[in-house]
């Protein structure tokens, strides 16, 4: 049933794209001094103009992609490769108002494998976001989105003998308030996320019951900032959240319900046209309802940077430490199989973008993630690297090519893997 729903949504997106009328001129770009990366910059000769409908602009797109994956099951040995055909329709309806903002959007990602049809997927997202301006510098904002997707074979929580990837569905909603007037800024946001993982058939018979992974998360976050001179700001940010699993003990598993908190202090900066970013540090903690799951705590830190090295080159970098959810079982120091209570994850990411010509863009990016599975001895190192190029033919057509490499090094026997992927994508936009 879920695949049928995905198919109907994707078909509707394709139809709306195909029936789109001729494009109208796009409004002026954002202010020239805004800090944006090379790929994000406004290019009036090559950007989609959008289709005006009253005070809204309609942006339909459709992309056709061919991809080669050297290890579709993310296995250490006996790897299987395949060629994949993908269709990616999308649209966004964006308001063009002097104040306030509203956007409605949807996209689909439909994949067909040449030799391994069990890996086929039909993913889609649909949602809306809006902002109500109360006065200058003060607003209320909200977002809502539903995602229908699948779990990647390389996920630590994926089981190797699944017949097909686990199908997932996620509902997200948020509501927030922000006031940024004079030297003081205040923000308060509330978020709700509901995640569901479908059961999966296993090779040789049987079914993997994923009900113990279904969960709800409620988060409340607050931030207070104090503006310093020359585009700098000092801030304090804190959050609390509650995670509740639907029936985590039905299969004899652990009670994974938990409460989390984070508190950090840091500094942000915005150097007109050149760079923007932030750096922060503090404390994080997650306490589980079950005494056997204990608690996880430690130093919380992070940083983000967007730097325009020159007029033709930009660099984006980030580092982040967090506590993530997992359902993985591992071994403790005595070799006894026990559930991991969570993952302490540290991510380092960097991306370089370069404008070779006005309509030829290049990029290279890489990331390293260190994952420690609490209560167990398992540790994973994840490495990702990719390069790509984008050729802008005109405002309605662009071509993308890319190569990606991913690698997992873990101390769990038989769980290492490496993966190469090559991609060619042709995108039409209006």
Task: State the pLDDT confidence band at 1, using cuts at 50, 70 and 90.
Answer: very low
Rounded Cα distance, 387 and 186, in Å: 39
pLDDT at 34: 82
For the chain, give the number of residues: 430
Task: State the pLDDT confidence band at 250, using cuts at 50, 70 and 90.
Answer: low
Q: What is the mean pLDDT of residues 161-182?
A: 94
Question: Can you give the three-state secondary structure of the chain, one letter per residue?
Answer: CHHHHHHHHHHHHHHHHHCCCCCCCCCCCCCCCCCCCCCCCCCCCCCCCCEEECCEEEEEEEEEEEEEECCCCCCCCCCCCEEEEEEEEEEEEEECCCCCEEEEEEEEEEEEECCCHHHCEEEEEEEEEEEEEEECCEEEEEEEEEEEEECCCCCCCCCCCECCCCEEEEEEEEEEEEEEECCEEEEEEEEEEEEEECCEEECCCCEECCHHHCEEEEEEEEEEEEECCCCEEEEEEEEEEEEEECCCCCCCCCCCCEEEEEEEEEEEEEECCCEEEEEEEEEEEEEECCHHHCEEEEEEEEEEEEEECCCCEEEEEEEEEEEECCCCEEECCCCCEEECCCEEEEEEEEEEEEEEECCEEEEEEEEEEEEEECCCCCEEEEEEEEEEEEEEEECCEEEEEEEEEEEEEECCCCCCEEEEEEEEEEEEEC
Indicate whether 17 pLDDT > 70.
no
Rounded Cα distance, 290 and 375, in Å: 13
Indicate whether 306 pLDDT > 70.
yes
- Structural tokens at position 145: 């989105």
pLDDT at 170: 97
Indicate whether 9 pLDDT > 90.
no
- Structural tokens at position 275: 């760079």
| Pairing, β 343-357 against β 313-324 | antiparallel
Indicate whether 177 pLDDT > 90.
yes
Indicate whether 230 pLDDT > 90.
no
pLDDT at 249: 52
Indicate whether 428 pLDDT > 60.
yes
Task: State the pLDDT confidence band at 20, using cuts at 50, 70 and 90.
Answer: very low
Q: What is the mean pLDDT of residues 172-187?
A: 95
- Ordered by start, the domain boundaries in the chain are 2-429
Indicate whether 8 pLDDT > 50.
no
Enter the pTM of the model: 0.87
Q: 104-139 burial by CB neighbour count: b if 16+ within 10 A, else e?
A: bbbbbbbbebeeeeebbbbbbbbbebbbeeeeeeeb
Indicate whether 31 pLDDT > 80.
no
Lowest-confidence range among 170-174, 192-196, 242-246, 249-253?
249-253
Rounded Cα distance, 111 and 121, in Å: 5
Give the CATH architecture of domain 2-429: Beta Barrel (2.40)
The candidate with the shortest Cα–Cα distance to 414, out of 16, 76, 142, is: 76
Q: What is the mean pLDDT of residues 18-41?
A: 57
pLDDT at 252: 57
Q: What is the average pLDDT score of the chain?
A: 90
Rounded Cα distance, 92 and 111, in Å: 22
- Structural tokens at position 168: 């997932």
Q: How many CB atoms within 10 Å of residue 356? A: 12
Q: What is the mean pLDDT of residues 290-312?
A: 94
- Structural tokens at position 14: 């394709």
Rounded Cα distance, 59 and 96, in Å: 13
């Amino acid at each position: 049933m879920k695949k049928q729903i995905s198919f109907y949504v994707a078909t509707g997106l394709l139809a709306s794209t195909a029936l789109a009328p001729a494009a109208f001129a796009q409004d002026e770009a954002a202010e020239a001094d805004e800090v944006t990366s090379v790929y994000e910059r406004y290019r009036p000769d090559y950007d989609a103009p959008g289709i005006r409908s009253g005070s809204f602009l309609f942006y339909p797109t459709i992309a056709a992609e061919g991809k080669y994956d050297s290890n579709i099951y993310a296995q250490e040995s006996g790897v299987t490769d395949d060629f994949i055909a993908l269709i990616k329709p999308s649209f966004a309806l964006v308001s063009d108002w002097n104040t306030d903002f509203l956007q409605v959007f949807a996209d689909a990602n439909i994949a067909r494998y040449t030799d391994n049809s069990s890996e086929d997927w039909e993913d889609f997202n649909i949602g809306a976001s809006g902002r109500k301006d109360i006065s200058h510098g003060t607003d209320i904002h909200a977002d809502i989105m539903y995602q229908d997707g699948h779990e990647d074979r390389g996920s630590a929580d994926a089981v190797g003998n699944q017949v097909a990837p686990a199908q997932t569905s996620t509902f997200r909603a948020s509501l927030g308030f922000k006031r940024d007037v004079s030297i003081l800024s205040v923000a308060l946001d509330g978020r709700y996320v509901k995640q569901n993982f479908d059961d999966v058939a296993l090779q040789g018979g049987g079914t993997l019951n994923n009900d113990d992974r279904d969960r709800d998360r409620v988060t409340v976050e607050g931030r207070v900032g104090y503006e310093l001179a020359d585009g700098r700001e000092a801030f304090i940010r804190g959050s609390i959240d509650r995670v509740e699993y639907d029936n985590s003990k039905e299969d004899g598993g652990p009670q994974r319900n938990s409460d989390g908190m984070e508190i950090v202090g840091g500094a942000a900066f915005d150097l007109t046209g050149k760079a923007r970013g932030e750096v922060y540090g503090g404390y994080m903690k997650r306490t589980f309802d079950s005494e056997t799951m204990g608690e996880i705590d430690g130093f919380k830190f992070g940083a983000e940077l967007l730097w325009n090295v020159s007029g033709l080159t930009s660099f984006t970098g980030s580092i982040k430490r967090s506590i993530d959810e997992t359902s993985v079982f591992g071994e403790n120091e005595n070799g006894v199989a026990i559930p991991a209570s969570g993952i302490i994850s540290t991510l380092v990411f960097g991306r370089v973008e370069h404008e070779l010509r006005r309509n030829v863009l290049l990029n290279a990016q890489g990331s390293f993630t260190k994952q420690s599975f609490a209560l167990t001895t398992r540790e994973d190192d994840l490495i990702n690297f990719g390069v790509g190029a984008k050729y802008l033919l005109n405002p309605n057509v662009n071509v993308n090519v890319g190569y990606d490499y991913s690698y997992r090094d873990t101390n769990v026997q038989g769980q290492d893997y490496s993966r190469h992927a090559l991609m060619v994508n042709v995108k039409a936009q209006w």
